[in-house]
Amino acid sequence: MSAEIRAATDVGGTFTDLVYFSVDPETGAQRIVTAKTDTTPPDFERGVLNVIAKSGAPVDEIAFLAHGTTVVINALTERKGVKTGLITTEGFRDSLEIARGNRPDYFNLHYVKPAPFVPRHLRREVPGRIAHHGGERAPLDLRGLPKILDDFRAEGVEAVAICLLHSYANPNHERAVLDKVTELWPEAAAVASHQITREWREYERTSTAVLSAYVQPVAERYLGRLADGVRGGGFGGQLYIMQSNCGVDSVDRTKEIPITMVESGPASGFWGAAELGRLLGDPNVLALDIGGTTAKCSLIEGGHVKIISDYWIERSRRSAGYPIQVPVVDLVEIGNGGGSIAWVDDFGKLHVGPQSAGAQPGPAAYGRGGTEPTTTDANLALGRINRDYFAGGEIDADMDAVDRALGELADKLGVDRADAARGIVRIANNNMINALKLISLNRGYDPRDFTLVAFGGGGGMHAVALAAELGIRKVVIPRAADVFSAWGMLMSDLRRDYFVTRLFGLNAGNAERLDGLIDEVTETAAAQFRREGIERDRIRFLRYGNLRYENQEHGVEVPLRDGATVDEITEAFHDAYEREYTYRLEAPVEFVGVHLVAIAEVGKLTPVPLAPTGRTLDDAVKGRRAVDYATEGVHDADVYDGDLLEPGMAFEGPAVVETKGSTTVVHPENAVTVDDYGNLVIEL
């Protein structure tokens, strides 16, 4: 009997990664294999087949293949979607471009609003009105639609987005427009807002529909070729696509609404962190993913990864950005990764990021012409990264280029090179600390109540320093931290989140209404799963209510337990509100909407402890070198080969743990143990 293989592939801008686990059917022992090849645009499926071949995994024995891709976010940020037309309710075609009218960069006399993805002449209107309660106020009039579509065709439009007022309350008009568009113009991609979101706020919903339509043909082509490609290559198992809500979904479903993949990259890592926390008995986790260009973090409380629908791309202090109302893991992202460039501004202030040296030219140490110092260069100069084992030994670190780049920066700052390198590390750490504060303190959580789980290529490099600053006592660096996101994918269930707005007073008189709403949304979810062959008894439902005091705008999400009375829900709301906002009121409470999570297990991995080989800690020692800890001075650190560490081993800092894909910097007086699964547990 052959081993059962579960694999995850992750297509990034530069590399296509693969991780697979094979489970020995007799011993239950798991073997983990990783491989990396170049990404192969535009035939991305080729890279996926290449990486499977390179890993040596027998394609026909892969039972479960999860796939994560940045195709959607790339198409959005690089503006590589298709020409899109928009159909709105009469009188409101400009909602998309007026947006919310805000001007976040408010001392900028030359503020420029984010340009709409659909220009005004491709935004067209149809008469008809649904009221806020879902009733029809004026009938839909589609007589003008053929002309609109003719104009769209003439303009080279390839995708049509539809968003009508109050379609979250009653999608009938929107559905009628969609049906007619599909009938009259079957070749065009078309999407109506209610297919993606059932929440109010017309600008946000319109933007969601537009961005979804804009990427739909691109994503459909991608997924179609991927599925055909792997099947053609002999794959006969189940193919799932990673979503932004920490779940996976089928290829067919994802093709319909591909925008749900928009933040799938970070989502799998955060899900992995939550699963790891559960496995280790640490349900409160601050998860930090440090990659080449960005650092992302998310807060997991009680094993619960927060999924929200208030998601924006390209939003910053300087720009209003674009909303996408899809279920996305609640995260904070900053432009601060290994490749982030350090620079000095007009005030003589040192900054790190958000510009990144990327893969080309990359950090100065790559020796590919990069002249500006990056965080990676600083870490090399300080001995934190091994200059003789750079990028797992695949690149000869160009230390002369590093010295030159740091020298120029040091001159601008009026300090020496070592101080400049320490400065870069301190500023980079400070940026990440601020991101971790945003996700914790600014939302009413104390980081000291959490375990920091850090992963990605740079996670282990900075985690201990960040934890020390925030008062966190325990850091976990997962085994194979550089491909931890892929591990997270293998831990994911088929999951869908449904957010539905329905405003009413939370009182005994509305108890039936609440039950009715929950039943309605549950039935919608169950029906959708049923059509895909998943029966109700395999689905686990989690239900949350979005509640607020009357006439407030933003609410608090409260679990709706089976059989909970209105009084119990109200009490839970008061408690949750006070915890988050510090005070409670006697005011009436409103129910704003339901958030239903439907989960079906589709064969995720069950992690098992590593079997010891009898190696000793000494076997794992690679040597000793001087490491500059920036604020804690220079210390001689023991260097360990991370691949040779085994459960039960323990040592103390100062130390460095190296694997092919990542480096963990252990500070003086840290106590490190290797847990049963091969993770590094660092106590501060």
Partner 1 sequence: MTAVRTLDPITTEIVRSAFSAAADEMNATLIRSAYTPIIYEMKDCSVALLDADHRVLGQSAGLPIFLGNLEICTRLTEEMYGREGWQPGDVWIMNDSYLTGTHLNDMTVFGPIFVDDELVGFAACRAHWLDVGAKDPGGPMDSTEIYQEGIRLGPMKVVDGGVQRRDVADLLGRNSRFSYPAVGDLGAQIACVRTGQRRLEAIIAKYGKETIDAARDEIFAQTERFERAAVAAIPDGVYRAEGSLDNDGNGTDPCWVRLTVEIRGDEMTIDLTETDDAKHGPVNCGEAQAISACRVAYKLLINPGNPPNGGAFRPLTVEVRRGSMLGAEEPYPCQWYFTPLGLLIDLVVKALADVLPDQAAGASYGDSMVIGITGIDHRNGRPWLDLEPTVGGWGAWRGSDGEDGLINNVNGSLKDLPIEVLETKFPMRMTEYAFRTDSGGAGRWRGGNGIVREYTIDCPEAQLFLWFERSVTPAWGLAGGGDATPPVVVVNPNTGHERRMLKASRVALVRGDVIRTMTGGGGGFGEPRERDPEDVRRDVRNRHVTPEAARDVYGVE
Q: Which spans of this chain sit near partner 1 (rule: CB under 8 A)? A: 91-95, 97-104, 106-113, 119-121, 131-132, 137, 165-166, 168, 200-204, 346-350, 413-415, 419, 422-423, 426-427, 430, 434, 437-438, 441-444, 503, 549-554, 580-583, 585-587
What separation in angstroms does the CA of 468 have from each of 352, 430, 472, 683? Answer: 21, 12, 6, 10
Identify the CA nearest to 657 among candidates 504, 461, 451, 512. 461
> Cα–Cα–Cα angle for 404, 389, 365, nearest 5°?
20
- In the complex, the smallest distance separating the C-beta of residue 502 from partner 1, rounded to whole angstroms, is 10
Tokens of 636: 């001689």
- In the complex, the smallest distance separating the C-beta of residue 437 from partner 1, rounded to whole angstroms, is 6
- In the complex, the smallest distance separating the C-beta of residue 587 from partner 1, rounded to whole angstroms, is 4
Identify the CA nearest to 427 among candidates 364, 345, 371. 345
- In the complex, the smallest distance separating the C-beta of residue 233 from partner 1, rounded to whole angstroms, is 47
Tell me the DSSP string of 23-53: E-TTT--EEEEEEEEE--TT-HHHHHHHHHH
Q: How far apart are CA 459 and CA 270, in angstroms?
A: 13
Q: Which residue lies nearer to partner 1 by CB, 224 or 414?
A: 414
- In the complex, the smallest distance separating the C-beta of residue 427 from partner 1, rounded to whole angstroms, is 6
- In the complex, the smallest distance separating the C-beta of residue 290 from partner 1, rounded to whole angstroms, is 19
For residue 230, which amino acid is it?
V
For residue 324, count other CB atoms closer than 10 A to its CB: 27
Contact between 634 and 650 (Cβ < 8 Å):
no
Q: Which residue lies nearer to partner 1 by CB, 95 or 356?
A: 95
Query: What kind and span of H or E run contains 635?
Result: strand 634-641
> Cα–Cα–Cα angle for 603, 606, 612, nearest 5°?
150
Identify the CA nearest to 288 among candidates 334, 243, 246. 334
Q: Which residue lies nearer to partner 1 by CB, 50 or 434?
A: 434
Q: How far apart are CA 172 and CA 560, in angstroms?
A: 29
Q: Which residue lies nearer to partner 1 by CB, 141 or 550?
A: 550
- In the complex, the smallest distance separating the C-beta of residue 684 from partner 1, rounded to whole angstroms, is 16
Q: How far apart are CA 173 and CA 335, in angstroms?
A: 42
Q: Which residue lies nearer to partner 1 by CB, 1 or 112?
A: 112
Q: Which residue lies nearer to partner 1 by CB, 434 or 673?
A: 434
- In the complex, the smallest distance separating the C-beta of residue 101 from partner 1, rounded to whole angstroms, is 4
Contact between 625 and 383 (Cβ < 8 Å):
yes
- In the complex, the smallest distance separating the C-beta of residue 540 from partner 1, rounded to whole angstroms, is 31
Q: Which residue lies nearer to partner 1 by CB, 582 or 613?
A: 582
Q: Which residue lies nearer to partner 1 by CB, 156 or 623?
A: 156
Q: Which residue lies nearer to partner 1 by CB, 223 or 288?
A: 288
- 3-state SS, 106-174, equals CCCCCCCCCCCCCCHHHEEEECCEECCCCCEEECCCCCCHHHHHHHHHHCCCCEEEEECCCCCCCCHHH
Contact between 646 and 615 (Cβ < 8 Å):
yes
Q: Which residue lies nearer to partner 1 by CB, 360 or 442?
A: 442
Burial 50-65 (b: 16+ CB within 10 A, else e): bbbeebebebebbebb
- In the complex, the smallest distance separating the C-beta of residue 102 from partner 1, rounded to whole angstroms, is 5
